[in-house]
Structure 1
Amino acid sequence: MVELAGLPLPQDVCAGFATALSWAGLGKQAVPGDQSVWTSDVFEGNPLTSDRERFYRNVEVLNAAPGLAAGPPTIGWLHAAFDAMSRLEGEKYAPKIRVPSLLVVAGDDKIVSNKAIEALSSRLRAGTQIVLRGARHEILQERDSIREQFWAAFDAFAPGVAIRKTA
């Protein structure tokens, strides 16, 4: 997550609001706005996965154990996220990262900015990106064809021998 997509105001303005509200003691409050994306049990139009079966499996799990739900992001979480993202924006930060990095991008992500991930990837000395076409935000909750692409990229990138998968 380098930049959020679809914010109502520029990211730096939203970051300023999150900082001010956190300093005012409201960090544990949910971020204002439409909370249905975090609580909806309707598959159509969800931004998280294109896999209907996995989506409804997750709905069933959360219905059975509501305490497992992450819930909406809080103002404090958003403040911390904006702080971390602002560090990545600096032209001098990314080239200092010397650990080989693979950025896996969900091609149809509506939550984070793919353009920002691409820009970060181009500034990394030992980094690359792969775009998984058709994937939404939660790549590992996607259709098997997308998950297989993720694991193939991971196995090719990670050192060592890939674990043999059994049926």
Structure 2
Amino acid sequence: MTLYSVNSDLSPAPACFNGIDVRFEALTVSDDVTLRVAIATPKVIRGRVLLLNGFTEFIEKYTETLNDLLERGWEVVTFDWRGQGLSTRFHDDPHRGFGITFAAQLADLAHIYAAYFADYSGKKCLIAHSMGGHMALRYLSRYSGHFDIAYCLAPMVALPLPNWLISVVAQGYIGRGKGDGYAWGEGPMDDRDGQQVDRLYNKLCHDRARFSAWFTLATKIPAFRMFGPSWQWLQEATASMDLLWEEIAYIDTPVVLFTAGEDKIVNPNRYRQFAEKSAQVRLVELPNSGHEILFETDDIRGVFWQQFDKASF
């Protein structure tokens, strides 16, 4: 196994920040794992946000959201999860989601909090997407009072197929020594294949310009890329989702959970049942949104920002 360390150049695409002053740091969380962290600070600080991206993603994908937060006076801390972006990777094929445990990612999140939030006395907010939303919810179920409020966008609560079925299939591949193989329908993407790119766009959102901006960036800088989950990752994911459904009742932080009615990545039909397990979770339904809510059209993104701006801090 090869360990891919954080690139010595922590910001290979500075132009994408459009002049925003972003500071990059490398945070070592264990003997062999380093996380790439970015911090952006506005002139007048209202509070501090931890922005958690999803599976396969990287810091630079969220430059528009980062700028939106800075304009509102929020200092932003964000990072690349282990196994993706320019944080440590764990497979000879760095584009494959393998060797990543959700327990380790939960521990990484605790390290991030200790380094950037534990001693901060101002308002603390979480914004988290997809897998990041899943990790945020699991973190909040274990740590009381760490954040004032959390906004989870299309969090990974349930996949389109039942967890038990995914787990049985994944265990079969793992048992045959193929746990590091790409799961069905996943694998490397040919950027020159227009139909393949169109299928990904149609699967994720409805704003072509926003989709193209981050997809082009990942194409130009292969180190950012991850193509898809392995069977081992799916096995880890289903086990972690099962735990989340048991832990949700312990959350005592207000959570605004945004659901995407046209989501093709997670199962949007399970959110109401999920929210019923916690008095702290309030649903905001976006019936016309795809999975990538922050990369949707202005009207859909606008609903998110309206909800965010009206929070009573």
- TM-score, normalised via structure 2 length: 0.44
| Greater strand content | 2
Residue in 1 aligned with 2:181? Answer: 29
User: Which of 149, 153, 169 in structure 2 is aligned with 1:17?
Assistant: 169
Instruction: Report if the CA contact (8 A) 1:30-1:72 is conserved.
Output: yes
Question: 2:290 aligned with 1:136, yes or no?
Answer: yes
Deviates more, 1:54-63 or 1:19-28: 19-28
Higher helix share: 1
Question: How high is the TM-score relative to the length of structure 1?
Answer: 0.78
Residue range with higher mean Cα deviation, 27-36 or 56-65:
27-36
Could you list the structure 1 runs, at least 4 aligned residues long, displaced by more than 4 angstroms after superposition.
34-39
Question: Structure 1 residue 81 and structure 2 residue 233: aligned?
Answer: no
Equivalent residue, structure 2, for 1:125: 279
Give, in whole Å, the separation in 2 of the partners of 1:155 and 1:109. 24
The 2-side partners of 1:131 and 1:143 are apart by 15
Distance 1:152 1:142, change over 3 A: same
- Give % identity: 29
Alpha carbons of 1:79 and 1:131: their partners in 2 closer, same or farther (altered >3 Å)? same
Which moves more between the two structures, 26-35 or 109-118?
26-35
Report the equivalent of 2:131. none
Partner of residue 197 from structure 2, selected from 18, 41, 45 = 41
User: CA RMSD of the aligned region, Å?
Assistant: 2.6
Distance, in Å, in 1 between the alignment partners of 2:299 and 2:260 is 13
CA contact under 8 A between 1:43 and 1:55: conserved in structure 2? no
Q: Deviations over 1:28-78 (max 9, x none)?
A: 221122548897322686211100111222232122112212211122221
Matched, 1:53 2:209: yes
User: Equivalent residue for 1:66?
Assistant: 222
Provide the rounded CA distance (Å) in 1 between the counterparts of 2:201 and 2:233. 25
- Provide the rounded CA distance (Å) in 2 between the counterparts of 1:67 and 1:32: 24
| The one of 297, 301, 309 aligned to 1:147 | 301
Q: 1:51/1:132 Cα in 2 relative to 1: closer, same or farther (>3 Å)? A: same
Deviations 1:92-131 (A, max 9, x none): x332222221111112112111121121111112111101
SS in 2 for 1:98: coil
Task: Give aligned pairs, total.
Answer: 154
Matched, 1:99 2:267: no
Structure-2 residue corresponding to 1:110 = 264
